[in-house]
């Protein structure tokens, strides 16, 4: 029987560097897939529908939610986000590892669906540094930055619900920690029954 894919859930306050770290991990490991979330927020400059997010209006989102098409959904910063259930299950069943970029609410719901997943929280070094990063990227109004900073405290207070913490005070070191978490997940015995069978079979063939 083929190996089931590994679930890696990564969560962080806005501006903590989560997307940068995920993109680097996927660049090094091209077989690691990305679970494309649905959202009702408008695309940011450079974002591509179906690649970064699947962008929906509220009516379409609510229709999919009522039809039970989401593994999890949440309202964050006034917009809806969700993980589509069907594509995720299909990829995992085919042995594809998947990384999920979600908020705290989404991570909680995914934990009930994928209790054996790797749940990682990316931690900013301080409020001041997070405010600097949010302001420097120029994606949000001053009011939105303050709202994200206010929400960040509550998100950080929930970090104890995650298996791993990655402090992003140094990008290179943070990446190496995230990479190590992923590789450790691949080494779990639960996901390698087929390889164990092959090793034991080599004794049978030699006898």
What DSSP string runs through 167-179? Answer: ETTSHHHHHHHHH
How far apart CA 21 and CA 88 sit, in angstroms, is 21
How far apart CA 181 and CA 110 sit, in angstroms, is 18
Place of tokens 């989560």: 18
Q: Which domains does the chain have, with CATH numbers?
A: 7-35+96-206 (3.40.50.300)
How far apart CA 120 and CA 98 sit, in angstroms, is 13
- Kindly report the average pLDDT of the chain as a whole number: 90
Q: Which residue has the higher pLDDT, 140 or 10?
A: 10
Residue-wise pLDDT for 28-41, tens only, equals: 999 899 988 899 99
pLDDT level of residue 9 (50, 70, 90 thresholds): very high
How far apart CA 75 and CA 201 sit, in angstroms, is 50
Residue-wise pLDDT for 82-113, tens only, equals: 989 888 999 999 999 999 988 898 899 899 88
């Amino acid at each position: 029987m083929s190996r089931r894919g590994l679930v890696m859930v990564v969560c962080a306050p806005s501006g903590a560097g989560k997307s940068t770290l995920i993109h680097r991990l996927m660049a090094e490991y091209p077989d690691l897939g990305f679970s494309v979330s649905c959202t009702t927020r408008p695309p940011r400059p450079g974002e591509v529908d179906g690649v970064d997010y699947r962008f929906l209006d509220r009516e379409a989102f609510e229709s999919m939610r009522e039809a039970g098409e989401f593994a999890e959904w949440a309202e964050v910063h006034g917009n809806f986000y969700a993980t589509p259930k069907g594509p995720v299950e299909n990829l995992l069943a085919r042995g594809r590892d998947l990384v999920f970029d979600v908020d705290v609410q989404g991570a909680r719901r995914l934990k009930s669906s994928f209790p054996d997943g790797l749940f990682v929280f990316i931690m900013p070094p301080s409020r001041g540094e997070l405010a600097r990063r949010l302001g420097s990227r120029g994606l949000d109004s001053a009011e939105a930055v303050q709202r994200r900073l206010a929400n960040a405290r509550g998100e950080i207070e929930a970090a104890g619900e995650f298996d791993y913490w990655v402090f992003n005070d140094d990008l290179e070191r943070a990446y190496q920690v995230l990479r190590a978490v992923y590789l450790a997940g691949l080494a779990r015995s639960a996901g390698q029954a087929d390889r164990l069978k092959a090793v034991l079979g080599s004794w049978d063939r030699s006898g």
